[in-house]
Structure 1
Amino acid sequence: MFSELSPETKEFIEYMVSNGNLDLISKTGKRGGAFATFIGTEKAPFIFANSVGIPNDIRVLAHEAGHAFQFYMNRNTQIPEYISPTSDATEIHSFTMERFVWPWMELFFEKDTDKYKYCHLTEAFILMPWANAIDEFQHYLYDHPSQTMDERKAKWREIERIYMPEKDYDGNEFLERGGSFYQISHLFETPFYFIDYDLAHNCAVQLWIRYNENREEGWNDFLNICRVGDSESLVEIINRARLQSPFDDGSLRYIIEYVDRWVEQFDDQKY
């Protein structure tokens, strides 16, 4: 898959395999989760995952490979802080790679390939209202530090009803009073990070659209932003990739209209 995607990813994956920088299979005693990191002493990326033979394993591998490939393209930088972008930009590379490997999904999903693509693409947009709700709630928390826990719960439930009116807690008192935000670890561990997923999805889908229309242009634009690492800001990276800024009015409409036309070719009742 990566060997055929481009000469750059071929070199990357051959390096990762030959140097043992992939730990992908779940096993007893192994910590959970998945991530890509950079080993400074080796000037090399490393991918850690817990594949168990489910469809999401492929998405996770492509996602972490997007991060790792971006590290690899910056491995020889003289400024360590420039190896990886800050959190507001770094997910662009991972979400884009998830979609750039779609031409090889038939190797894994065979007759269910269209189902995988449909679900994969639409999930990004299903996530957007939730991410926006979380971001608005975080602003409320930091703007009102003296609010009681009951007031915070009430505010979260109010925001939930705005962004996700379809939520039905079937009379569960704890959840109806706004207790569901306890499950969102980002609120406690990485404040204001969650909205970065929405910004990255916006950019990644734009790159996927360009890749569909002109594979060479799409790949070169992606490669260009991989090479700059953290030497440029989010806005500069967006401009370098020739993308419409997610902060501009109408940027989401353009994406939604394209995606809407794309999903119409599928019978979603089958999925």
Structure 2
Amino acid sequence: MKNILNQIVEQKRIEVQQKKQVQSIEYLKQSIHFLNPVRSAKASVLDESKTGIIAEFKRKSPSKGFINENAKVEDVVLGYEQFGASVVSVLTDENFFGGSIKDLQQANEVLSIPVLRKDFIVDAYQVYETKAIGADLMLLIAECLTKDEVHDLAKLAKEIGLEVLLEIHSEDQLEKVNEYIDLIGINNRNLKTFEVDTEKSKQILKQLPEDLIKVAESGISDPEVVKDLKAAGFQSFLIGENFMKNENPGKAFQEFVNQL
């Protein structure tokens, strides 16, 4: 089977080089958002008045194609916030996920809860870009970064005020955790094959540092699974496709929350 992640990262490196020719890091630093303090995802996840769910705006996936091509960002994310989402995640990868920076900017404009930029960060330029477009939290994917790259990108993110979610999916990636990580996610989906195993999170849970907020990611479509993972010790749950596949994702989110 083709390694989808390698394809995405290869394309991402090309995109970053192209962007550098158009806008410099110094230009990004002039953004209205760059000096603004972020809304803390850690605090929002731990806020007991919210659900702990990171609800995702996601138009398509490499494995399934378009999920909800015509969804309006503002309508979806406001529904998420209204019914208790702790954080909203927005895909900004265009080629494989149909997302855009504009999607994140539109979400940021209407939300009072934190916004996670979900993309494939492989270069320091993207860290500056993440702050410049108004995100509060940045995803780093251990599978496509070395231990040193995770360290350097996370350190830079913290220096400019971003929080960092590190995503892993196997025990051997635990060595990539460092002092600059705020939240750690276990992806139930194998990023090389895109197959899902929802038991993965619980297998690795006991090996995670106690002081990090723990997030279960991908393949969650049943409120009972959230209850089970919460009982096991997870504080947050990243869910997107389960809501986005509905005509009204905000309403689907509300119905999901009502069963928790």
**TM-score category (smaller protein):** under 0.3
Q: Please, what TM-score do these two structures have when normalized by structure 1?
A: 0.23
Which has the larger share of strand?
A: 2
Which has the larger share of helix?
A: 1
Of the two, which has the highest radius of gyration?
A: 1
Higher relative contact order (CA 8 A, sep 6+): 2
Q: Please, what TM-score do these two structures have when normalized by structure 2?
A: 0.24
